[in-house]
């Protein structure tokens, strides 16, 4: 059936970047190339596609143009609930959309909240402390080495090669810089020093693993490897992606289980990508989950993973879309 499909998104080019902002100020937003790639897939399947964007004009556009379903990749503009804003608006207007609902999007954007939920079911995740101001560090009760990142960000925003912290002095320096540059809150976590994996999951009633991809940072010993902004930007030179990864099948099953359990517990829908790191004892830890995983056809981790698993980009987009159609009773109508 031919549907009228809206795409909601926020583009890097819609924002003004000035030199006094940090290099990764716009890191979370998408490029026109990604929107066009998604549009091509939906159009080649016979749908009419309307690019809706994600600015305030969206409200009027949605009221003027009848839309059957929205393919949502909007990161949102501000605040802890920013990823939930457009889905909440769509829910209010009774327009179906791809991906998770506002509760899940907000819960997972705040990494500390997502960790509390997975911990409540016994899923291992690094011990942590949420830091609003420097004085909070007086209560620190965690073991070094630590890792310091922003509590409500993605795309490794705020994460640098020196985000692993081995002493009090560097902790204070790093926390001060992050608070000053990006604002609170921070998440201080115990550092997990083994190999890193990201797991793609698709589906609803019985979600399945699309793939497990190991992220190896070239030239870094595993206990120093950080998938930082610097590394993500130069991924072609600096990252080895292994998918499927060359690891023991028991470890692979455990990684998949942590990812699937987290996806279910956080009520994710249609698609997500779960980041996991293994500790010295071989236990996989939940780092975070991304219910709006980057879908760049060039550098998105999920599209790269799909490619390694023999799926072309169109199949990935179509599968996400079909899960949303099915969930909304629109498939084959
Ligand atoms: N506790 C930790 N121990 C070790 N490494 C960590 C830890 N937390 C984060 N990292 C490293 O920092 C990277 C970025 O952290 P994380 O995935 O939490 O942030 P993100 O910016 O939300 O990522 P994404 O780009 O997937 O949205 C991880 O991929 C990992 O390399
Ligand atoms: Mg991540």
pLDDT tens sequence across 57-67 = 999 999 999 99
Please report which confidence band the pLDDT of residue 17 belongs to, taking 50, 70 and 90 as the band edges: confident
pLDDT of residue 19: 76
Tokens of 228: 């930082």
DSSP string, 11-38: BGGGS---TTS-TTTTTTSB-HHHHHHH
Domain that holds residue 287: 193-327
254 & 298 share domain:
yes
Please report which confidence band the pLDDT of residue 207 belongs to, taking 50, 70 and 90 as the band edges: very high
176 & 208 share domain:
no
DSSP structural state of residue 143: P
Average pLDDT over residues 39-50: 98
Residue identifier of the C-alpha nearest atom 27 of ligand 1: 154
pTM, to two decimals: 0.96
Domain boundary among 190, 223, 238: 190
83 & 167 share domain:
no
DSSP structural state of residue 177: H
Average pLDDT over residues 105-122: 98
Q: Which ligand is nearest to the CA of 225?
A: 1
318 & 198 share domain:
yes
pLDDT of residue 30: 85
For residue 154, give the CATH number of its domain: 3.30.1490.20
pLDDT of residue 28: 77
**Alpha helix ranges (H) inside the chain:** 32-44, 58-64, 82-92, 102-109, 111-120, 168-181, 229-233, 235-238, 249-265, 301-308, 313-327
Angstrom CA distances, 194 to 11, 89, 93, 191, 224, stand at: 35, 41, 46, 9, 9
Tens digit of each residue's pLDDT (9 = 90 or more) over 272-309: 999 999 999 999 999 999 999 999 999 999 999 999 99
Average pLDDT over residues 177-181: 96
User: How many domains does the chain fold into?
Assistant: 3
**Residue 154 beta carbon below 6 angstroms from any ligand 1 atom:** yes
**Residue 125 beta carbon below 6 angstroms from any ligand 1 atom:** no
183 & 197 share domain:
no
DSSP string, 183-197: -S-EEEEEPP-S-EE
Closest by CA to 107, choosing from 298, 331, 291, is 291
158 & 207 share domain:
no
Helices 82-92 and 102-109 cross at an angle (nearest 10°) of: 180
Tens digit of each residue's pLDDT (9 = 90 or more) over 244-279: 999 999 999 999 999 999 999 999 999 999 999 999
55 & 17 share domain:
yes
In sequence order, which residues have a C-beta less than 8 Å from that of residue 63 and are 6 or more positions away?
93
Residue identifier of the C-alpha nearest atom 2 of ligand 1: 191
DSSP structural state of residue 68: S
307 & 207 share domain:
yes
141 & 221 share domain:
no
pLDDT of residue 189: 98
Q: How far is the CA of 303 from the centre of ligand 1 (A)?
A: 19
Q: What is the number of residues in the chain?
A: 333
Domain boundary among 58, 81, 99: 99
Residue identifier of the C-alpha nearest atom 14 of ligand 1: 156
Cα–Cα distance for residue pair 44/49, rounded to 1 Å: 10
169 & 56 share domain:
no
Using DSSP's 3-state secondary structure scheme, residue 58 falls into helix
Q: Is residue 112 part of a domain?
A: no
Please tell me the least confidently modeled range out of 42-51, 148-157, 273-282: 148-157
**Residue 191 beta carbon below 6 angstroms from any ligand 1 atom:** yes
Q: Is residue 104 part of a domain?
A: no
305, 275 in Cβ contact below 8 A?
no
pLDDT of residue 333: 56
pLDDT of residue 155: 82
Using DSSP's 3-state secondary structure scheme, residue 52 falls into strand
């Amino acid at each position: 059936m031919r549907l009228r499909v809206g795409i909601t998104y926020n583009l890097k080019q819609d924002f003004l970047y000035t030199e006094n902002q940090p290099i990764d100020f716009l890191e979370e937003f998408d490029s026109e190339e990604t929107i066009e790639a998604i549009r091509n897939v939906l159009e080649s399947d016979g749908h009419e596609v309307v690019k809706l964007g994600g600015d305030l004009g969206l409200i009027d556009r949605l009221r003027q143009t009848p839309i059957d379903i929205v393919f949502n990749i909007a990161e949102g503009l501000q605040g802890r609930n920013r990823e939930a804003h457009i889905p909440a608006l769509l829910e209010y207007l009774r327009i179906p959309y791809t991906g998770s609902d506002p509760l899940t999007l907000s819960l997972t954007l705040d990494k500390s909240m997502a960790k509390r939920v997975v911990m409540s079911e016994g899923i291992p995740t690094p011990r942590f402390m949420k830091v609003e101001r420097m004085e909070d560090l007086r209560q620190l009760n965690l073991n070094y080495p630590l890792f310091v990142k922003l509590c409500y960000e993605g795309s490794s925003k705020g994460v640098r090669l020196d985000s692993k912290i081995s002493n009090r002095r560097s902790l204070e320096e790093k926390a001060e810089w992050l608070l000053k540059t990006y604002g609170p809150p921070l998440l201080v976590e115990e550092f997990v020093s083994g190999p890193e994996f990201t797991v793609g999951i698709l589906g609803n009633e019985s979600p399945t693993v699309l793939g497990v991809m190991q992220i190896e940072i070239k030239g870094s010993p595993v206990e120093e490897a950080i998938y930082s902004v610097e590394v993500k930007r130069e991924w072609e030179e600096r990252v080895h992606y292994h998918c499927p990864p060359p690891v023991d099948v028991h470890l692979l099953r455990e990684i998949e289980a942590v990812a699937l359990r987290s996806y279910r517990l956080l009520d994710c829908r249609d698609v997500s990508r779960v980041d996991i790191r293994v500790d010295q004892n071989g236990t996989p830890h939940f780092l975070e989950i991304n219910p709006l995983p980057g879908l760049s056809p060039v550098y998105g981790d999920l599209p790269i993973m799909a490619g390694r698993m023999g799926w072309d980009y169109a199949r990935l987009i179509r599968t996400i879309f079909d899960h949303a159609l099915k969930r909304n009773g629109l498939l084959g109508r």
